[in-house]
Amino acid sequence: MGLDITWAVDWVRRSADVIAEHRVELIRLDRDIGDGDHGENLDRGFTAVVPKLDDLAAGSTPGDVLKLVAMTLISTVGGAAGPLYGTAYLKAAAAAGSESSLDGEAVARILAAARDGIVARGKAESGDKTMIDAWTPAVDAAAAAAASGAVATAVLAAAADAAEAGAVATEPLVARKGRASYLGERSVGHRDPGAQSTALLLRAAADAASE
């Protein structure tokens, strides 16, 4: 039982809900080490995607949904996160192709493509205290789960768990990319907002798959 269009649409709706719920928390995290707009930026983007879901043509695939998210985030979010998440969803859409159902291997492949897109665009390495520090553990956990034969739902759950741990693990790091890098050592002791939003979005994906 792979993940289909119903899952993809539900993921987007849950993403919009969870980002709205955590909007203030993401703003606070970004106020500590950035300019305080991360929650507002993402909330604007996901709020803009939801009504567009109603216009998806019959027979649309998960890849079509990922592409819709990409285009909307690129045109509405701005800042660093808009182009980075936009690229992630665009690469994910390309990896999903026109498949109507995604198995565990496909999910792992799609997450890796999304992460690779963010790295290609932003050039962050692991440990730079960015969203990559949530994405890369998630990609690694997803690959390990898929290799051991896990179904798509379990692959996403493993990715979400690893992303949450990765976000927490950004707290002691010194920021080396993005606005937070201007603070240098003073960024220590704060969680990276983009890593936190990544964990929220991947948990939403896992929750959409498990119900």
Residue 164 contacts ligand ADP per CB under 6 A: no
Residue number, 10 or 37, with CB nearest to ligand ADP = 37
Residue 122 contacts Mg ion per CB under 5 A: no
Residue 84 contacts ligand ADP per CB under 6 A: yes
| CA diameter of the chain | 52
The set of residues, in sequence order, having a beta carbon less than 8 Å from that of 35 and lying 6+ positions away, is: 179
Closest separation in Å from C-beta 64 to Mg ion: 29
From candidates 80, 102, 208, 209, binder to ligand ADP by CB under 6 A: 80
b/e code 89-105 from CB counts within 10 Å (16+ = b): bbbbbbbbeebeebbbb
Provide φ and ψ at 102, rounded to 5°.
Answer: -110, 125
From candidates 23, 44, 177, 203, binder to ligand ADP by CB under 6 A: 177
By rule CB under 5 A, what count of residues binds Mg ion? Answer: 6
Which of ligand ADP, Mg ion, none has residue 39 at its interface (CB below 5 to 8 Å by kind)?
Answer: none
The closest of 89, 79, 91, 96 to 130, measured between CA atoms, is 79
Q: Using alpha carbons, list the distances in angstroms from residue 56 to 8, 49, 63, 69.
A: 12, 11, 12, 12
Q: Hey, which residues does 102 pair with through a beta bridge?
A: 3
H or E element that contains 11: helix 5-21
Contact string 91-110 vs ligand ADP (x = CB under 6 A): --------------------
Closest separation in Å from C-beta 33 to Mg ion: 9
H or E element that contains 89: helix 81-96
Which of ligand ADP, Mg ion, none has residue 191 at its interface (CB below 5 to 8 Å by kind)?
Answer: none
Q: Please give the residues from 19 up to 78 whose contact with Mg ion meets the rule CB under 5 A.
A: 30, 34-35, 37-38
Residue number, 123 or 186, with CB nearest to ligand ADP = 123
Q: Contact residues for ligand ADP (CB under 6 A)? A: 30, 34-35, 37-38, 41, 79-81, 84, 118, 122-124, 130-132, 177-179, 192-195
